[in-house]
Amino acid sequence: MNYKFEIENLVNKFRSLSDKELRKNEANVRKDFINPFFRALGWDIESDNYEAETYVGSSGIADVAMKIEGKIVCYQEAKRFRQDCFGTQVRRKIKEPVERQVLRYCFENSIQ
């Protein structure tokens, strides 16, 4: 598989989305773009090493936990295309920067 070709196709697919399609929810963004992106990079997203909607203790649920030899090495968060990923979100009635969400997951599970 030529990962450059596959990623280029994803970029073109994104560029051709209508305004309505740009309002996809997080699950659809993951299914239609994030999963194919990691598949293009050679990640077996059908294996136990790519776990969707993973419970992360008191921090919540990560959209994807990526594992090597059964150990979580990375969390991935899907966001709507039009969501400001550098803004804030409300979590348990507390505003926090969106990027802190993944950092909390990593900290809670001692991922460096």
Q: What is the pLDDT of residues 55-93, one digit of tens each?
A: 777 777 888 888 888 888 888 888 888 665 555 554 555
| Alpha helix positions (H), 1-58 | 3-15, 26-29, 35-40
What is the C-alpha to C-alpha distance for residues 102 and 99, in angstroms, rounded to an integer? Answer: 6
Whole-number pLDDT of residue 33:
92
pLDDT at 31 over 70: yes
Distance between CA atoms of 9 and 39, rounded to whole angstroms? 13
Residue 6: the pLDDT is 93
Q: Is the pLDDT of residue 97 over 80?
A: no
| CA terminus-to-terminus distance, the chain | 31
**Torsion angle of C-alpha atoms 80, 15, 50, 57, degrees rounded to 10:** -20
Give the pLDDT of residue 110.
81
Q: Which of 11-15, 18-22, 32-36, 61-65 has the weakest average pLDDT?
A: 61-65
Q: What does the pLDDT read at residue 26?
A: 85
Residues 2-13: tens digit of each pLDDT: 889 999 999 999
What proportion of the chain, given as a percentage, has pLDDT over 70?
84
